[in-house]
């Protein structure tokens, strides 16, 4: 992917095929007295009428506004200037009625002759009947800075906006072209075509243009892009502090993403900051047939109380290879020690997404124990014999010292609360545990040598997805449930046994306690060597919960 570098202003031709200055002059010369809608129809064919109203931002009708009805695939380079016969001028109330004998997909562009505000309404479907178009509001125009593709075949050519009449000549000595006076709206396509008109290609589909903005089109080899807004204000995740090195969960569904546009397994996905700085990511799950995918994108800073931060997602490049990389997203340098998405087949190795590779071996589990989880796929545990063992972890990085700093988290769905212990994640009863206690409570424990268990608890819940986090930070201990700290005190359950750190890490069971198996579904188990803090934990819950309050995929 290339950065946008050399920016040189180009001559932009608009509607009448003349320079921008002449186009502006032509619009200004339109008489300011209201002129009624006209019908440009040919005899003998029943015309369809496209009606609507154009307003100013103050809500008043935009009189004397020129409105065009342009076929969505219109190419002004090949077909010439948009003819006047495709336009009318609004009446004194801003109303218009455009007539056409054709059917298909059209764009509407409106330009006010007085202040040159404008708007684009795309994807107007004209079929058998006349239609009414929702009212549109004129806004200040924008500019596009378009990076040219490396694969462009000719030395010179044009960039044009489908169905608008807007285009600019380009010279391949430059890496970008600038198009001015672009109406706000959704541009169906940005295209490159050679001077000879014999070849062309789409640079980008469905580009959102905000009013009075400069939109930079990076990475022209990727045909599709989408803005992902990260909202941490009270209307979103409601997190006030900045959170650093955060893996943002991006959920794609058939309702917000067209899987047929991307390569198999999402191999051509890319994520960047607004300035086109690449972001590392991991594709946890990609199910194009089922219309669902879960991707983790590492964002260096998620700003607190902010609704304007965004990242970009790109796809639609048949030549791109996957660069999905879990160890870069869940970087051990940022405190991740073990991360198990549990999204594999139920009897397959539970891969550790970090570079530590503390992969887990499922015991007494089958392929069918792979079930829908809190985040894509999770693992179902039978409460009698199934668990996952991370071998050779007894003396490794999962072996935290007493009164150290670490956290253990998981999404859990308990089948029931039956006054029995049920282990979620454990490194032995005499070291640390995240579990359901026999008092039907969520519990996090650390064992003190010859003193007993430091316990933090909260009322448990069954048959509901719950995000449970246990944190140890020196002499302090915390239990979080669904992003909220529910216990910041320690109850010492005394015992004079010596602390035992010789056990391997397990999910769904505690070593040597065969009656303490977990019954239900466990998903996204993480162990970290730091206290992540309340903002991090709340952001995890707000982002990973089924009702994601952090990420909004813009249209």
* pLDDT (0 to 100) of residue 157: 85
- List residues bridging with 160 in a β-sheet: 167, 191
User: How far is Cα 120 from Cα 208, in angstroms, rounded to an integer?
Assistant: 10
* pLDDT (0 to 100) of residue 373: 98
If asked whether residues 327 and 417 sit together in one domain, one would say no
Query: What string of H, E and C letters represents the secondary structure of 352-397?
Result: ECCCCCCCEEEECCCHHHEEECCCCEEEEEECCCCEEEECCCCCCC
User: How far is Cα 436 from Cα 410, in angstroms, rounded to an integer?
Assistant: 12
* pLDDT (0 to 100) of residue 196: 66
- Give domain status of residue 8, yes or no: no
Do the bridges between strand 270-272 and strand 243-253 make them parallel or antiparallel, or are there none, so unpaired? unpaired
- Give domain status of residue 208, yes or no: no
* pLDDT (0 to 100) of residue 150: 75
User: How far is Cα 1 from Cα 317, in angstroms, rounded to an integer?
Assistant: 11
Do the bridges between strand 48-55 and strand 136-137 make them parallel or antiparallel, or are there none, so unpaired? parallel
- Give domain status of residue 451, yes or no: yes
What tokens were used for 75?
A: 């190419």
First-residue to last-residue Cα distance in the chain: 23
Nearest 5°: CA angle at 128, between 185 and 208? 10
If asked whether residues 382 and 412 sit together in one domain, one would say yes
CATH number for 82: 2.60.40.10
User: How far is Cα 417 from Cα 427, in angstroms, rounded to an integer?
Assistant: 22
- Closest Cα partner for 57 from 111, 137, 119, 112? 137
Per-residue pLDDT of the chain (555 residues; tens, 9 = 90+): 433 333 333 333 334 333 333 333 233 323 222 333 333 444 445 789 999 999 999 999 999 999 999 999 999 888 889 998 999 999 999 999 999 999 999 999 999 989 999 999 999 999 988 899 999 999 999 999 999 887 665 567 889 999 999 999 887 677 899 999 999 999 999 998 877 665 578 999 999 999 999 999 999 999 999 999 999 999 999 999 999 999 999 999 999 999 999 999 999 999 999 999 999 999 999 999 999 999 999 999 999 999 999 999 999 999 999 999 999 999 999 999 999 999 999 999 999 999 999 999 999 999 999 999 999 999 999 999 999 999 999 999 999 999 999 999 999 999 999 999 999 999 999 999 999 999 999 999 999 999 999 999 999 999 999 999 999 999 999 999 999 999 999 999 999 999 999 999 999 998 876 779 999 999 999 999 999 999 999 999 999 999 999 999 997
If asked whether residues 497 and 379 sit together in one domain, one would say yes
- Give domain status of residue 148, yes or no: no
9: buried, middle or exposed (CB in 10 Å: 19+, 13-18, 0-12)? Answer: exposed
* pLDDT (0 to 100) of residue 78: 84
If asked whether residues 344 and 312 sit together in one domain, one would say no
CA distances from 346 to 286, 362, 382, 411, 456 (A): 17, 8, 12, 17, 31
CA distances from 257 to 191, 244, 273 (A): 22, 28, 20
* Total number of domains constituting the chain: 3
3-state helix, strand, coil in the chain (%, to 5): 10, 45, 45
CATH number for 360: 2.60.120.200
DSSP one-letter code for 63: T
From 103, 120, 137, the end of a domain falls on 137
C-beta separation of 110 from 55 below 8 A: no
If asked whether residues 94 and 113 sit together in one domain, one would say yes
If asked whether residues 406 and 495 sit together in one domain, one would say yes
- Give domain status of residue 31, yes or no: yes
Domain holding 484, by residue range, is 336-529
CA distances from 307 to 231, 235, 296 (A): 4, 9, 20
DSSP one-letter code for 133: P
C-beta separation of 350 from 525 below 8 A: no
Q: How many CB atoms lie within 10 A of CB 492?
A: 11
If asked whether residues 366 and 437 sit together in one domain, one would say yes
If asked whether residues 393 and 525 sit together in one domain, one would say yes
C-beta separation of 21 from 187 below 8 A: no
If asked whether residues 231 and 317 sit together in one domain, one would say yes
- Give domain status of residue 167, yes or no: no
From 89, 119, 137, the end of a domain falls on 137
- Give domain status of residue 29, yes or no: yes
* pLDDT (0 to 100) of residue 171: 77
- List residues bridging with 411 in a β-sheet: 467, 523
C-beta separation of 51 from 141 below 8 A: no
If asked whether residues 268 and 254 sit together in one domain, one would say yes
C-beta separation of 550 from 232 below 8 A: yes
Record the pTM: 0.89
- Give domain status of residue 130, yes or no: yes
User: Torsions phi, psi of 67, nearest 5?
Assistant: -125, 125
* pLDDT (0 to 100) of residue 415: 97
Cα dihedral sign for 238, 242, 248, 252?
A: positive
* Long-range pairs for 172-177: beta carbons < 8 A, 24 or more residues apart: 172/148, 174/6, 174/8, 174/148, 175/2, 175/4, 175/5, 175/6, 175/147, 175/148, 176/4, 176/5, 176/6, 176/7, 176/8, 176/145, 176/146, 176/147, 176/148, 177/10, 177/145, 177/146, 177/148
If asked whether residues 28 and 133 sit together in one domain, one would say yes
If asked whether residues 368 and 328 sit together in one domain, one would say no
From 109, 137, 165, the end of a domain falls on 137
């Amino acid at each position: 992917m290339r950065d946008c570098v050399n920016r040189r202003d180009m001559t932009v031709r608009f509607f009448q095929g003349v320079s921008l200055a002449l186009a502006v002059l032509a619009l200004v010369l339109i008489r300011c007295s209201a002129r009624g809608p006209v019908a440009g129809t040919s005899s003998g064919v029943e015309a369809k009428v496209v009606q609507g109203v154009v307003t100013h931002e103050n809500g008043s009708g935009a009189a004397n506004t020129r409105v065009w009805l342009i076929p969505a695939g219109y190419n002004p380079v090949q077909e010439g200037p948009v003819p006047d016969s495709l336009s009318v001028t609004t009446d004194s109330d801003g109303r218009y009625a455009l007539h056409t004998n054709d059917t298909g997909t059209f764009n509407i562009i409106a330009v006010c002759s007085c202040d040159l505000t404008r708007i684009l309404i795309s994807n107007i479907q004209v079929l058998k009947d006349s239609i009414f178009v929702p009212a549109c509001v004129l806004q200040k125009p924008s500019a596009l800075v378009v990076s040219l593709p490396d694969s462009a075949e000719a030395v010179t050519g044009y960039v044009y906006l489908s169905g608008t009449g807007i285009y600019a000549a380009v010279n391949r000595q430059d890496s970008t072209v600038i198009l001015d006076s672009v109406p706000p709206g959704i541009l169906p396509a940005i295209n490159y075509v050679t001077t000879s008109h014999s070849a062309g290609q789409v640079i980008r589909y469905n580009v959102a243009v905000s009013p009075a903005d400069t939109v930079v089109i990076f990475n022209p080899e990727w045909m599709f892009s989408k803005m992902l807004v990260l909202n941490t204000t009270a209307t979103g995740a409601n997190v006030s502090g900045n959170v650093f090195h955060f893996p943002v969960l991006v959920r794609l569904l058939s309702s917000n993403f067209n899987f047929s546009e991307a390569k198999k397994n999402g191999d051509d996905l890319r994520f960047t900051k607004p300035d086109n700085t690449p972001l590392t990511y991991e594709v946890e799950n990609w199910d194009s047939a089922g219309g669902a995918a879960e991707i983790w994108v590492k964002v260096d800073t998620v700003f607190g109380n902010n609704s304007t931060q965004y990242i970009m997602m790109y796809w639609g490049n048949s030549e791109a290879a996957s660069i999905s990389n879990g160890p870069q997203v869940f970087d051990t340098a940022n405190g991740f020690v073990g991360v198990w998405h549990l999204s594999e087949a139920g009897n397959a190795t539970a891969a550790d997404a970090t570079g530590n590779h503390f992969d887990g071996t499922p015991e007494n589990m089958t392929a069918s124990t792979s079930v829908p989880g809190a985040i894509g796929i999770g693992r179902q545990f039978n409460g009698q014999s199934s668990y996952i063992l991370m071998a050779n972890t007894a003396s490794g990085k999962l072996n935290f010292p007493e009164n150290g700093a670490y956290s253990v988290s998981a999404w859990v769905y308990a089948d029931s609360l039956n006054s029995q212990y049920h282990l979620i994640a454990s490194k032995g009863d005499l070291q640390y545990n995240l579990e359901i206690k026999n008092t039907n409570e969520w519990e996090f424990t650390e064992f003190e040598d010859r003193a007993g268990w430091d316990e933090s608890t909260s009322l448990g819940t069954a048959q509901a997805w719950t995000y449970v986090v246990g944190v140890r930070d020196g002499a302090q201990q915390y239990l979080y449930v669904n992003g909220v700290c529910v216990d910041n005190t320690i109850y010492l359950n005394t015992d004079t046994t010596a602390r035992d750190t010789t056990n391997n890490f397990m999910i769904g069971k505690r070593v040597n306690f065969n009656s303490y198996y977990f019954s239900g579904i466990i998903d996204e188990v993480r162990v970290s060597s730091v206290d992540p803090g309340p903002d991090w934990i709340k952001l995890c819950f707000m982002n990973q919960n089924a009702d994601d309050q952090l990420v909004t995929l813009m249209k």
